[in-house]
Amino acid sequence: MRTSTKLLLVIVVIFAAFGALWYNRFAIYDYLRLFNYSPPSTVVSLATEDTMTPYARHLFYVYHPQIEGSAAFNTNCKVTDQAIVLGCTIIGNGIYLYNVTDPQLSGVEQATAAYEMLHVAYSRLSSSERSYIDGMVQTVYNENAASDPIIKAEVASYLQTEGSAALPNELHSVVGTEIANLPPALNSYYAKYFNDRSTVVKYTDQYEGVLNQREQAVTTDDQTLSSMKQEINSDEATLNYDYQQINQETSTMNSERSAGNESAYNESVPGYNSQVDSYNNLLNQTNNLIAQYNQLVSSRNSVAVSEDQLIQSLSSSPSTIPSN
């Protein structure tokens, strides 16, 4: 065999070997990552509660998910003060989940685990698969954004912190874990990862509902307080005017009496008493309204503090969360 032919054969074999390695890169990577790896019970529980399929569990476990406190989580996820971060996936490294301990926010870790697993799933799609899925996901988002301000705000935050290049990946996770009603083709696609995707959506709705309930209560109270404040201001303006009129009438009546004009004085008494009664009635009404206003302010602030505390429990940097 000629040297040139042998060299060509060697080159072909090398390229074939590299081609085989590239084609099987995920299988090789996964094997090395899962070799002697035993997922902690907390990680297994998250996969079970999210109804992950065997393939989804495989993707989840390959990235050795870790549930971390603020110090380790902030380091691994490079958390900044720009947004609340509940989890992150570092491709080629790991999945990191923030340890949310407040029982009122049950469902956060399950929803976040599913969200991050879908990032791994997205990284495994071919270019043609991504193009196909991206189109459907974008359409679903566009149809839901107008009626779902939470998702719209979430995506806007991703655009600000991660840029438009990362948006398809984020939308892939948002749609898969947060939107209940999907077209059949997308339902079939996500069925590769979840036996019952509605369970994951319920986890998201569960903890978001707790926050939304408090936010809506504060908003409603603020609207009521604004209306009550306007009424109080109007009543106080009326009381000030009536008080001046009563004082003026008192002065006039005293002058009549001093001048010995008892008849004019007596004729003024019924109208004067009526003015005083009207003033006192409005004064009592206004004082009662002020008491109701102050009570509602106290109740509203209590709910607002509770909301802030919940938000802080979702943040690995609670000092950056503004209070109401």
Torsion of CA 271, 275, 280, 281, to 10 degrees: 90
Distance CA 189, CA 136 (A): 11
CATH topology of domain 214-320: Helix Hairpins (1.10.287)
**What are the phi and psi torsion angles at 140 (to 5°)?**
-65, -45
Q: What are the structure tokens assigned to 242, written together?
A: 């009536």
Mean pLDDT of the residues in the chain: 82
Task: Give strand ranges (E) for the chain.
Answer: 66-68, 87-90, 94-98
Output the pLDDT for position 33. 85
Kindly report, residue by residue over 158-192, the tens digit of the pLDDT. Answer: 887 787 888 999 999 999 999 999 999 999 999 99
Q: Which of 208, 186, 173 is nearest to 140 (CA)?
A: 186
Helix axes 127-145, 149-162, angle to 10 degrees: 130
Count of alpha carbons within 13 angstroms of residue 11, beta-carbon side: 6
Residue with tokens 């074999």: 13
Kindly report, residue by residue over 291-324, the tens digit of the pLDDT. Answer: 888 888 877 776 666 566 556 656 655 443 333 3
Share of the chain above pLDDT 70, in %: 81
Output the pLDDT for position 84. 66
What residue segments make up the domains of the chain, in order of their start? 26-208, 214-320
Q: State yes or no: pLDDT of 83 exceeds 80.
A: no
* Contact of 178 with 204, CB cutoff 8 Å: yes
Output the pLDDT for position 315. 61
Helix (H) or strand (E) holding 83: none
Output the pLDDT for position 71. 83
Distance CA 112, CA 49 (A): 12
* Contact of 310 with 318, CB cutoff 8 Å: no
What amino acid is encoded at 257 in this protein?
R
**What are the phi and psi torsion angles at 240 (to 5°)?**
-60, -45
Torsion of CA 62, 63, 68, 70, to 10 degrees: 180
Output the pLDDT for position 46. 96
Output the pLDDT for position 265. 83
Question: DSSP label at 93?
Answer: T
Output the pLDDT for position 9. 52
Q: How far is CA 138 from CA 32, 59, 74, 119, 196, in A?
A: 35, 24, 30, 16, 22
- Cβ–Cβ contacts within 10 Å for residue 207, how many? 23
What amino acid is encoded at 78 in this protein?
K
Cα end-to-end span (Å), the chain: 83
Question: DSSP label at 146?
Answer: T
Output the pLDDT for position 41. 95
- Cβ–Cβ contacts within 10 Å for residue 269, how many? 10
Report the helix count and the strand count for the chain, using DSSP H and E: 12, 3
pTM here is: 0.70
Q: Which of 42, 50, 61 is nearest to 107 (CA)?
A: 50
Distance CA 320, CA 225 (A): 28
